[in-house]
Structure 1
Amino acid sequence: MNTAEDKLRERVKELTCLYEVTSIIVNSDYDQLDASLEAIAYCLKRAWQFENVTEVFLKTGDFHVQTDDYKHDMVTLVSKIKVFNKVEGEVMVGYPSNKYTLDDFLVEEQTLLNNVALDIGNLIERKQIRDSEAITRRKMERTDRLHILGEITAGIAHELNTPLANILGFAELLTDKITDKETVRDLEKIMDSAIFSREIVKKLMFFACEMPQEMKRVQLIPIVTSVIKLLEPSLRSKNLKLTKAFDNENIELRVDTVQLTQVLFNLIMNAIYYSPKGSTITVHVLETESHISIEISDEGNGIPQELEDKVFEPFFTTKPIGEGSGLGLSVVHGIITSHKGKIEHKSNTPKGTIFTVDFPKL
């Protein structure tokens, strides 16, 4: 490239590329980032001196695009893509190695590549910020919704307690006075239904954090081991393997023992229910400086994305009618919240679900 006209033409191509890349990024759809990165790759291809043989390879995180004839043995210019000052990928522009060398690239082309890599990094940063804000917003909305549901269910539970106690009490009185066997059987059905309803009310009060607690410091691992031993028949019936991993055998936690047992029982029982026969359930207890975490993972089908925000709502269940009241996880959520902890779920790898319970060290 000897003439001023040639040099000017290259500068125009570089400026045009920067303008097009900026336009792509400004109008980028964060949900279809592959399309934006592919468009950027072809912009770069047109900006190089020998554009007819130029090929581009671009990779960052889970995204990967390349132009049609890119080969890994090409002679290339490379620029790293940084996201929040951490290298998360690279963009390479290459010529066929049988005809070109590094000396055939222009100094200005490396500068252009560096600027484009910087722009791509900024685009990925904005996508991650947006995704993080969306996750935070969903968590806040779910917390608000559960708080409102807690207040409603607490009111309902209190209103139902008195009439249920009356039904049960008067049915018991009538049972003592009546000798007709059929009538007694009918009264026993009434009492069984009242007792079942009372248990539902108790679970509602657990969800709404209305049950009295007896908080004391306890050894965590014996409680976990006791619950697992209690569930051994259910594990054997599905030929499930349960593996345990404890960071420390002497972890202490300030909790209500009965409520913690209920949390562990519900979560492990759920894992058993949704696990295919012959699979593995893992219970992992971790300890950090500020928290104690209990992870319970299974290898089931996992939680569909459209249901992720509903799993802790009362009366929501994916089990068939008659196999679940939909209060198990809502009760667990209420108990953990009352202990100033938190519960989250995420996908297991390669399949299944991991429920993580975090308790603060108090």
Structure 2
Amino acid sequence: MTKSADFAVLKARVGAKLRRKQIEDENHIIRERLLRKEMEAAEARAARELAETRGTLLADLERQHAALERATAQEHEAHEALKRAQSQLVQSEKLAALGQMVAGVAHEINNPLSFVVNNVAVLQRDVVAVRELVDLYRQAEASAGTDLQHRLRAAAERIDVDHTLGSLDRLLVRAREGLRRIEQIVTDLRGFARLDEGERNDADLNAGIASTVNIVRGQAAKRNVEIALELGRLPPVSCEAAKINQVILNLIANAIDACSDGGCVTVRTSCEEVGVAIDVIDTGTGIAPDIRGRIFDPFFTTKPIGKGTGLGLSISYGIVQEHGGSIEVDSTPGRGTRFTLRLPLEDARREAPAS
């Protein structure tokens, strides 16, 4: 009986150990299943978060791209409007309307131009932020599951995020360059018209000439005419700068018209004993001797009908006379023409001191 009892006890103990082992195995399996489920749930959450991040990123990229396209369109429209206004300014010989027209152009272009410049700056800042978001997205991708990595990489290849961001960078650079050019043109227009001055002041004639030349360079380029500047050191000259700029514009525009394809117009400044001299020299057709004495007469022109009013040189002559200066012309038919504008350093309208 003792052996039977011992065997029964041993059998019970073995059975108990086997049951414990079975329970432990079952618990281990349950824990593994729970762990797998937790991992699957975590991967699913990560996939959803990455998908949401990708969706947000793509939406941001689309918004930025659309905003950039709008900014580029606005820049193009402003540039086209400026070119049209500039062409009208170059062709206009009505000095009385010049200041108002340029003031309107500068005002109308400066306001939207400021908006576009600011918007492009914001876009450039936002693209940097989007790049940072893309980098974080890629870092998160590295810790995702293999299947999710494959799907994310496939999506990235399909969307081509790097190309899109690179394209945005290039478009922004071109937009900023276009805006810079527009700002320079507006600056030249304002400098040409001297919008803040309505009376005589000491003026930097070289700066006014440079702005005027910038305005007509497009007209010269269309005719394949080169403009050369040879600006000497000049003292400030008391004058109405806008009117003197108009005289220079008329002389240069006429010189361009006189040149054939491949011609050259040279604008030269120098200081003389009692004033300054401005030469406008062209390699054009020249002026016949029999009409040279009439070129400053009102309504006299050698241009075809519809190409000129015949008032440009007449108005210019009157302006120079108002400033106590002179205009001289030296021309050789077939070789070119030189107009020399001379202005005194002192305001010729000032009354002489009593003796």
| TM-score normalized by the length of structure 1 | 0.41
Which structure: greater helix fraction?
2
Larger gyration radius, structure 1 or structure 2: 2
Please state which structure has a larger fraction of its residues in strand. 1
